[in-house]
Structures are given as structure tokens and as C-alpha cells.
Amino acid sequence: MDLESVKKTLEKGMETTSVVDELPSRFLEPLIMSSLTVDHIEHGRVVCSMKIPPRLLNPGNSLHGGATAALVDVVGSAAICSVGHPPLSTGVSVEINVSYMDAAYVDEEIEIEARALRVGKAVAVVSVEFRKKKTGKVFAQGRHTKFIPLASKM
């Protein structure tokens, strides 16, 4: 692919700029989370499920990698909250990674399990596993490291 074609591919989103500009701020979390159900929560562990909606698909008609990464962030942050951190103080991302081992498709039931591996004074690390409910097969695994700002003593 020549460089001009690469540029056009990246800029094709410019065609929808006016629509995108009209979206409310912080629209991404509701877009991802509106299909999520919390099935189990305990200290350091959160298990959620969802039926994959069409809005989260990539051009190959499987769960988009970016949506998967966003779910690592959201469900992983809930695991941090489950050990006692207030929801708005789970910190900021330092590192996030996802390994994709298989695809999941529209209307497929999946389970997302997040485990807090370490929640310290300044850093939290969570592991998030994505499984197909029907078979139990793991199709993605994520790890998320977050910096937790120290609470002010003032």
C-alpha cells in the first residue's frame, strides 16, 4: 500500500467528524458497559457477562480489540474497587496489554473475570480473562497496571 493510501485510510473518519463531535463527553464507557452484567463480586475478584452487541464489532464481525482493551480497563478497575478503593480513585493506566487467542462474535455470550493481583499504596495490577460461556474457552487475556495517586492528608 502506498503512503497516500495509508493516509486516506486513517483520515476516512473525517467524513463523520460532525456526527462524532456531537457525541456527549465520556461516551465510551456507556458504549462498552451497557451490555455488561455483574454475575459475582468478592474481595479482589469481579465476574461479569455480556452478549456481544453489534456496536462492538470490528470489520471482521468479531469483538473489536479496542472494545476488549476497554473492558480490561473497566472490569479490571472494578476489581481494584472490590478491595476497598472508591470507584473514582482507581488511578490512571500505566500499562495495559491484551493477548488475543480467538475471536468472539455478535450475540455470543462471554464471561469476563478480573482478579486484583496486587493493590498497593501507589500501584495496582489486575489480570482479566475473557471466556466463551458455551465452551469455557479463553479467547483473550489482559493485564492492567494502574498508578494510584496517594490520598491528600490535607
What's the pLDDT score for residue 147?
Answer: 94
Q: How confident is the model at residue 2 (pLDDT cuts 50, 70, 90)?
A: confident
Any domain includes 106: yes
Other CB atoms within 10 A of residue 55 CB: 12
What's the pLDDT score for residue 14?
Answer: 58
Any domain includes 101: yes
What's the pLDDT score for residue 89?
Answer: 75
What's the pLDDT score for residue 30?
Answer: 78
Backbone angles phi, psi at 44, to 5 degrees: 80, 5
Instruction: Collect contacts of 148-154 with beta carbons under 8 A, ≥24 apart.
Output: 148/80, 148/85, 148/89, 148/90, 148/91, 148/119, 148/120, 148/121, 148/122, 148/123, 148/124, 149/89, 149/91, 149/92, 149/122, 150/121, 150/122, 151/89
* Short-list 97, 127, 124, CA closest to 115: 127
Any domain includes 154: no
Number of structural domains (the chain) is: 1
What's the pLDDT score for residue 149?
Answer: 82
Any domain includes 53: yes
CATH code, domain with 135:
3.10.129.10
Question: Which pTM value belongs to this model?
Answer: 0.86
Residue span of the structural domain in which 69 resides? 3-147
Tens of pLDDT along 80-138? 999 987 776 778 999 999 999 999 999 999 999 999 999 998 999 999 999 999 999 99
Q: How far apart are CA 22 and CA 51, in angstroms?
A: 27
Region 41-46 average pLDDT: 96
Q: How confident is the model at residue 15 (pLDDT cuts 50, 70, 90)?
A: low
Q: How far apart are CA 143 and CA 67, in angstroms?
A: 15
